[in-house]
A and B are shown apart, each in its own frame.
Chain A
Amino acid sequence: MIKLALSSLLNRKNVLILIFLSLTLSVTLFLGVQRTKEISRSSFSRTISGTDLIIGARTGQVNLILYSVFHMGRAVNNMGYDSYLDLASRDEVEWAVPLSLGDSYRGYRVVGTTNDYFSHYSYGGNQKLSLKSGDTFSTPFSVVLGASVADEFQHKTGDNIIVSHGAGLNGMNEHDNLPFTVTAVLEKTGTPVDKSVFVPLEGITAIHLGWETGMQRRVVSQEQALSVNLEPEAVTSVLVGLKNRGAAFAFQRMVNDYADEPLMAILPGAALYELWGLMSTAETALTFISAAVVVLGLISLLTAQLAVMNQRRREMALFRSLGATPGQLFLLLFTESLLLTTAGCLSGMILLYIIQTLLSVFMSSSGFYLSPALPSATEWLYFLLTLVSGTLTGVIPALTAYRNSLSDGMSIRN
């Protein structure tokens, strides 16, 4: 029966190859949307781990996590350096790393921080950052490069770089009076760290000497800069690790009620959860559209099967004369649809893996974590859902054949 179904399918291969392709592509799209969703979530989730709280000026919690960890968007306000020092000295705090954002290097974000960043920041299940070469900050004008940045501009330790004020798009606001020297390059992490340029907080203060009005009023030399107090007045946000995670809520409340200035503390997990909520509308729309494409694929399969049904009534009558029961004819047609749907689903899955493998090779510097993994439970569910609905679609032409053969018997219609 399977042989018979196969040769029947092969006979109509021109039409069926197109349907097979549309099934393959729709399944790839459908599963691809799911996978993109999962990849973006896991990429976000694995970027920050081990940090219990993020503290910054009052803003939305999604906004705060986006600019301080994912380097998306910008801070509206800074928080006082005093507040950082005060909070960092609390008993509950194990470590606190300040971040100062706002400058850039050739389109990549410059992150002002301290050496603590390299020892405390962790990602993807408590992996620590590690240095590919060189050493962390030794002077206010040291710079540590993320792997992608070093890669793109072929920088190595000892190179001098010049950072720009703000996003640095017009090339007018270069901090070219104070170059930084590369002291280290980080190992690849698959997180936004790869696309960051780290400098000491003092360096950030130094390059802004003479910029107090937002424009460069006077040019400061390196010697002059080093001769003044480079302690910053403000930082953008602070990553905090607590001694006891259980204290996170209490500490968060304390920060939110901080008397000296309006601050907020967020739990990264809760902020991410809110982020998923924001993304879910778009995700639902995409899922819906891709599911609709699958349905269209199945309808085209159905159309192709039903369009030739009249012509196939002759075949059915012949098979009846050879002793086929209507049930066997049902099975024949059903097997045909089943073979086609299964082939389409499987090749869709395979195509998805091919695309993902290619992407993971070509986009390894994107900061997205794309390595192909086995299908997740949800993906299997969607895969089975497609397979089952395809199979159910196949019942329709099969039932038609069954009914035709009951009414036609062996009379051959022209």
Chain B
Amino acid sequence: MIQLENVRFTWKEGETLINIPELIVSRGEKVMLRGESGCGKTTLLTLISGIQTVDSGVLKVDDIELKTLKSSKRDKFRGDHMGYIFQQFNLIPWLSIQKNILCSTTFSTLKKEREKESLDTRVEMLMAELKLDRLKDKPVRELSLGQQQRVALARALVGHPPLIIADEPTSSLDSGNRSSFMNLLVKECEKEGSTLFVVSHDSHIDDHFDRIIDFHHLNGGHND
């Protein structure tokens, strides 16, 4: 699903931040990339999600080499093939929970087409599965952090994207919320058959993954 070969990337000249000889994540795999904050994990995510392109080497997602796409095509590719969960501030404050979840399909017609049921039914099902149905009419501003992350998960799942990326999804949650969120995340990815790629420094969630990759071993680049 994700394939990197001799990938190099730098923000500033002379400082190679990312230098990854090889990284392969298979379809359906659940992988965690562990590393301290500020070590370049998030930069790697901007490459995988196609916000930035590699300076050299090959980076393929779903067998597409991202740097061959124009920037607007990469944006569309991300919208179509990925579900993305941030550490926090995942929600648009002026949209309802349902609309926040449906946001995924605003910029991706493919996600809309992949939904066989009507979108409303799908949102209701997801909200029930993620125990959000009781919160239906609540403004998103009033949701707890754990609830917000569950809404973000629902949004990432709409449209059955083959790849779910999460950037420190649990670091703003307390331990109880953390494990229940991880259980839901893993369960839903398995159910959908989606590949899960999580970057985190949180060692409490190791058990949920097929494979843990240490970023320092993976990356030969430096960030001073």
Give the chain A neighbours of B108 by CB distance below 8 A: 322-323
Contacts of B106 in A (CB 8 A): 1, 4, 322, 324
Give min CB distance, A140 to chain B, whole Å: 80
In the bound complex, what is the Cα–Cα distance between A152 and B132 (angstroms)?
Answer: 72
Is A175 in contact with chain B by the CB < 8 A criterion? Answer: no
Closest 4 CB pairs of A and B: A323-B79, A11-B94, A323-B107, A409-B51
Q: How many residues on chain B are close to A (CB under 8 Å)?
A: 32
* Residues A314-338 near B (CB distance < 8 A): 314-315, 318-325, 327-328
A168 to B86 alpha-carbon distance, docked (Å): 85
Q: Which listed residue, B72, B75, B77, B92, touches A318 by the CB 8 Å rule?
A: B92
Which residues on the B side are within 8 Å of A12 (C-beta)?
A: 94
With a cutoff of 8 Å between Cβ atoms, the chain A residues found around residue B93 in the complex are: 11, 315
**How does the 8 Å CB contact mask read for A393-414 relative to B, with 1 for contact and 0 for none?**
0000000000000000111101
Find the A residue at minimum CB distance from B85: A321
Interface: B200 (CB within 8 A): no
The verdict on B178 contacting chain A, using a C-beta distance below 8 Å, is no
How far is the CB of A4 from the nearest CB of chain B, in Å? 7
Q: Which residues of B contact A (CB under 8 A)?
A: 42, 45-46, 49, 51-52, 71-72, 75-80, 84, 86-95, 99, 103-104, 106-108, 155
Q: Are A324 and B72 in contact (CB under 8 A)?
A: no
Decide: B94 and A10 in contact? CB cutoff 8 A: yes
> Is the pair B94, A324 in contact by a Cβ cutoff of 8 Å?
no
Q: How many Å lie between the Cα of A309 and that of B94 in the bound state?
A: 14
The interface residues of chain B lying within 8 Å CB-to-CB of A410 are 45-46, 49, 51, 84, 86
Most buried by B among A314, A323, A412: A323
Q: Is the CB of B75 within 8 A of A315?
A: no
A120 to B103, CA, bound (A): 75
Are the CB atoms of A324 and B86 closer together than 8 Å? no
Q: Does A310 contact B (CB under 8 A)?
A: no
Tell me which residues across on chain A come within 8 A of B94, comparing CB atoms.
7-8, 10-12
Q: How far apart are the CA atoms of A1 and B103 in the complex, in Å?
A: 11
* A315 surroundings in chain B (CB, below 8 A): 92-93
- Nearest-neighbour CB distance to chain A for B82, whole angstroms, equals 8
Asked if A323 contacts B42 (CB within 8 A), the reply is no
Main secondary structure of the interface of A (DSSP, over half): helix
Give the complex CA separation of A262 and B155 in angstroms: 92
Contact bitstring A9-26, B, C-beta under 8 A = 1, else 0: 011100000000000000
Alpha-carbon distance between A4 and B77 when the two chains are bound, in angstroms: 21
Q: Would you call B99 and A320 a contact (CB within 8 A)?
A: no
Chain B: minimal CB distance from A2 (Å): 12
Most B CB contacts (10 A, CB to CB) among A10, A314, A322 go to A322
Judging by beta carbons under 8 Å apart, are B86 and A321 in contact? Answer: yes
- Bound together, the chains give a CA A411 to CA B84 distance in angstroms of 12
Question: Given A7-B99, A409-B46, A410-B51, are A323 and B76 neighbors across the interface (CB < 8 Å)?
Answer: yes
A328 CB → nearest B CB, Å: 7
Taking the closest CB of chain A, its distance from the CB of B108, in whole angstroms, is 5
In the complex, the answer to whether B89 meets A314 with C-beta atoms within 8 Å is: yes
Cβ B75 vs Cβ A409 within 8 A: no
In angstroms, how far is the closest chain B Cβ from the Cβ of A100?
73
Shortest distance in angstroms between B193's beta carbon and chain A's nearest beta carbon?
A: 21
Q: Assess the A409–B99 pair: CB atoms within 8 A.
A: no
**Bound Cα distance from A323 to B103, whole angstroms:** 10
CB-defined contacts of A319 to chain B, threshold 8 Å: 103, 107
Chain A residues near B75 (CB, 8 Å)?
320, 323-325
Closest to A315 in B: B92
The distance in angstroms between the C-alpha atoms of A328 and B94, with both chains bound, is: 18
The chain B residue with its CB closest to the CB of A413 is B89
Determine the distance from Cα of A314 to Cα of B90 in the docked complex, in whole angstroms. 9
